[in-house]
Chains A and B, each alone.
Chain A
Amino acid sequence: MKKSTNRSGRREFLRSTGALAGAAAVGTLAPFGIARAQSAKLKVGLMLPYTGTYAPLGNAITNGFKLAVEERGGKLGGREIEYFVVDDESNPAKAPENTNKLVQRDKVDVLIGTVHSGVAIGMAKIVRETGTLWIDPNAGADEVTGVLCAPNIFRTSFSNWQSTHALGKVLKKEGHKTAVFITHKYAAGEQMKEGFREGFEKEGGKLVKELYLPFPQVEFQALLTEIASIKPDAVVSFFAGGAAAKFLKDYAAAGLKGKIPLYGSGFLTDGVLDAVGSDAEGVETTLHYADGLNTPKDKAFRLAYAKAFKLQPDVYAVQGYDAGQLLAAGLEAVKGDMSRKAEMIKAMETAKIDSPRGQWTLSKAHNPVQDMYLRKVVGKENKVQYVAWKALADPARGCKA
């Protein structure tokens, strides 16, 4: 008995020393491993449109992001950055393939993208499985920080709901009781319509008619005639790019401008004022950025951006810049050690981003809680009028994370 215990004791001893030696070996290795991870470059995947209609937006976001990195000496949390770039062509059909190029093939630490909501939803589905840290610097689909929300999914732009919700208050303030909403019939248009309707009805207003145009048609004449026959107090709309330019011109040419005031989500008048000319004068929109904010941060940003890229920044550049700032906040908290992911996410969640648009924080679902400005088209600028809604948060419907 005694012998056997002795023997087992010895065996136990051998086993535990072996384990100890092993632990020691791991112990010495582990710090080395971390040191290596910190000195290695941080892999940042940029998945944005660099060709097609949205190419200027993709470039502005990239520029903004790089500016944020350059301002920190080219490093985030002490680590240099290595960029991996994929042109997503704003093609939702290719979204899984393009996302996997960065996530599986290049094994990026962080994924930044994109502009098109359909592509963003494709990205969300993949990073929800792989757990890759993802920052959406534009795409406004409510789902991204709604039903698809996850701890590793962040957004530095807006939700579609947010971009029109504050208009309800604005219309009420300006004495309008009835409104017509007009947009393309697709997800973004319908989400913006919903955001507006909720806000307007809360203020006692009535959305008397919703007018839809099949995407991407731009023959508005029939619907403009319909608006004239309904005679609402105000018209609220969402169109973007070429469609926005044409809508603004047709609205004026139909003689409705000046008779029925036109409002919209800020994208209606962003980037099209050169094309539209005086026909957009006086149109009021809400957005999380505006011309003439005149804060020290905004002035400094505009100057630095113009100097670096010989271009004037826009709302997309701001969103890209803030994606860089948000990532920096996370990485600085963990000294560049991406393996401390929970800590890093916590730091990003609680970060106060000092943005050119004004300070903002993140909601529980990781969407900016931000001031919505009322802007008015004056000449070639979307001049800020006042803050239409202080710290507006998206309701994050369907988010269970």
Chain B
Amino acid sequence: MDLAFFLIQLLNGLQYGLLLFLVASGLTLIFGIMGIINLAHGSFYMLGAYLAWSLASMTNSLVAAIALGVVLTVLLGIALEWLLIRHFYERDHLYQVLLTYGLILVFEEMRSVIWGDDVHGVPVPDLLAYSIPLTENLSYPVYRLVISAVCLLLALAMYLLIARTCLGMMIRAGSSNREMAQSLGINIKLVYMLIFALGVALAGFAGMINAPLSSVFPNMGGGVLIICFVVVVIGGIGSVKGAMVASLLIGLAETFGQVLVPEVAGMIVYLLMAAVLVWRPEGLFRKL
């Protein structure tokens, strides 16, 4: 591997890692702050992708589709929290697993009824539908670079929201001691509802923005869900900073693993997770 290709692979790894962060950050928020194990997270990703596809074909604009889609996923998040999730805060994790696993089945079936079982493609917006030539036979799609930039911006926004705003303070208070925060007059129910909606919207948004690259297909949430949990475990439960570092680590490990040791490429991420668990059982960064 000469230097040019090494740098391109580095870029591939970082770009993939940033996208992983976008999907996994919602999971780490919901899991870390609310203590809810949300297996349906992959379904929200899938839902986002299908929304992007169907809205984009209706409005002929991916940007409009994403704007509409984000509103819809936020509403869905609020509705789900209000109808189901809030009744499970006090219960054992096993009940949450059962509930959210049930949601996976419901969302897959709904997807099949509403949109069918076919594979669909979402066109990249014309403005971004070109590639930058890197070597004589390899180009880099501009849309991928744009996604990376969006992911970085969102990461920054999340950091500011949690570390620098009043709402962020309430979130942090609620996550470290729910009862105490409540007795101090914080409307913890509302905070939790917002966090859940934010988590759903982040997963949905990741599905939407990635739809032109991944195309949309049934069961697309399954693979995403597993890798998200790996990110959360490596990064440390509830840590947004940890999710970022873990995502980038996984992106790089997978990219270079596939090229350098293709025989074990499927295992590399899990080996990495095992190593981190041995070294730091609580993950790289435990808290926000």
Contacts and interface: CB of A to CB of B under 8 A. Distances in A.
B35 interface: no
B214 A260 contact: no
A87 interface: no
B46 to A, nearest CB: 11
A212 B262 CA distance: 7
Contact of B215 (A51, A55, A211, A246): A246
B219 A225 contact: no
A226 to B, nearest CB: 5
A242 B119 contact: yes
A214 interface: yes
B266 A255 contact: no
Contacts of B139: 253-255
B117 interface: yes
B141 A253 contact: yes
A253 B147 CA distance: 15
B266 A214 contact: yes
Contacts of B138: 224-225, 228, 254-256
Interface stretch (B9-17, B62-70, B85-93): B9-17
A272 B12 contact: no
Interface residues of A, number: 43
Interface string A204-238: 00000011111111110111111011010000000
A222 B223 contact: no
Main secondary structure of the interface of B (DSSP, over half): mixed
Q: Which of B15, B223, B256 has the most CB of A within 10 A?
A: B223
Contacts of B135: 228
A241 B119 contact: yes
Contacts of A249: 121, 213, 215
A274 interface: yes
A277 B122 CA distance: 10
B262 A53 contact: no
Interface string B216-251: 111110010000000000000000000000000000
B177 interface: no
Interface in A255-309: 255-256, 259-260, 271-272, 274-277
A225 B8 CA distance: 7
Contacts of A397: none
Contacts of B121: 245, 249, 274-277
Interface in B12-38: 12-13, 15-16
Nearest to B120: A275
A185 interface: yes
A271 B254 contact: no
B262 A242 contact: no
Nearest to A54: B117
Interface string A121-138: 000000000000000000
Nearest to B2: A229
B5 A225 contact: yes
Contact of B117 (A56, A224, A231): A56
B217 A245 contact: yes
A250 interface: yes
Nearest to A240: B119
A358 interface: no
Contact of B214 (A53, A213, A218): A218
Contacts of A217: 223
B168 interface: no
Contacts of A226: 5, 258-259
A52 B218 contact: yes
Contacts of A241: 119, 217
Given A222-B254, A242-B217, A271-B119, 11 more contacts: A53-B217, A210-B262, A212-B265, A221-B255, A228-B135, A229-B1, A255-B133, A259-B136, A260-B137, A275-B118, A276-B121
17 contacts: A56-B117, A219-B16, A222-B9, A222-B12, A222-B256, A223-B258, A231-B137, A242-B215, A245-B119, A250-B213, A253-B131, A253-B143, A255-B137, A256-B138, A271-B119, A274-B121, A276-B121
Interface of B: 1-2, 5, 8-9, 12-13, 15-16, 112, 117-121, 123, 131, 133, 135-141, 143-144, 213-220, 223, 254-256, 258-259, 262, 265-266
